[in-house]
């Protein structure tokens, strides 16, 4: 009977040791998780702001290019009118010179038409900025959702239940999470300050 008792006690000690190791590893994991959550909550707003800047820069560049192209197309139209006027003028020249002039003007007209066609194609290619902007806005909204969840976890892990601001901050996060805009930086700063206290 004593050997069975020793086996039972040995099994209990082994199970308790395993349980103690599990609890210790879980505690260490929670500490690491909290640090990861805090780092993520601090870095995501910066990434979101950078993406907003890229979106704005992309839109500005595309708008500037379109403005330049519109000016070039207007100039191209003016060149077309000048070529027409030159064609009429060249017809009044002696036949040999008129033929040479007509040939040169036909070449200029062809180049002008090809240039206009290329500019119109460029307008078509500029639609990328709309698609890219939409995709970047979706990424920004995803960042906002992740940031909201990280801050909620950080609040739940890092602030005592009795903290008076915790409920208010969680409600603000929930309200902000319902939107697709990035979080208000003042709210983020307030939460991070509270967590460091």
What does the pLDDT look like over 130-172, one tens digit per residue?
A: 777 788 878 877 777 777 777 777 677 665 544 556 677 777 7
Report how far apart, in Å, the C-alpha atoms of 34 and of each of 38, 85, 99, 114, 131 are: 6, 77, 84, 62, 37
Least Cα distance to 73 among 116, 109, 111 occurs for 116
What is d(CA 117, CA 111) in angstroms, rounded to the nearest whole number? 10
pTM above 0.75, yes or no: no
pLDDT tens digits, 106-131: 999 999 999 999 998 888 888 777 77
pLDDT, residue 142, reads: 78
- Confidence band (pLDDT; 50, 70, 90) for 50? confident
Please report which residue ranges of the chain form alpha helices under DSSP H. 2-91, 95-125, 128-158, 164-177, 185-196
pLDDT at position 197? 45
Query: Residue 79's pLDDT is what?
Result: 93
φ/ψ region of 88 (left if φ > 0, alpha if ψ in -120 to 50, else beta) reads alpha
Which letter does DSSP use for residue 181 in this model?
A: S
């Amino acid at each position: 009977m004593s050997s069975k008792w020793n086996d039972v006690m040995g099994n209990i000690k082994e199970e308790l040791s395993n349980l103690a190791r599990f609890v210790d590893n879980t505690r260490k994991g929670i500490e690491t998780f909290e640090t990861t959550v805090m780092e993520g909550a601090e870095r995501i707003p910066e990434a979101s702001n950078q993406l907003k800047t890229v979106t704005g820069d992309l839109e500005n560049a595309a708008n500037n290019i379109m403005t330049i192209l519109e000016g070039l197309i207007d100039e191209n139209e003016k060149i077309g009118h000048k070529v027409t006027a030159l064609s009429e003028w060249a017809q009044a020249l002696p036949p040999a010179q008129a033929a040479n002039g007509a040939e040169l003007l036909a070449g200029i007209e062809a180049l002008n038409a090809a240039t206009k066609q290329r500019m119109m194609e460029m307008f078509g290619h500029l639609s990328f900025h709309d698609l890219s902007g939409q995709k970047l806005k979706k990424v920004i909204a995803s960042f906002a959702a992740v940031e909201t969840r990280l801050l909620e976890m950080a609040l739940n892990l890092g602030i005592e239940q009795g903290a008076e601001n915790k409920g208010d901050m969680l409600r603000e996060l929930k309200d902000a999470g319902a939107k697709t805009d990035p979080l208000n930086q003042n709210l983020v700063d307030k939460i991070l300050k509270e967590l460091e206290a």
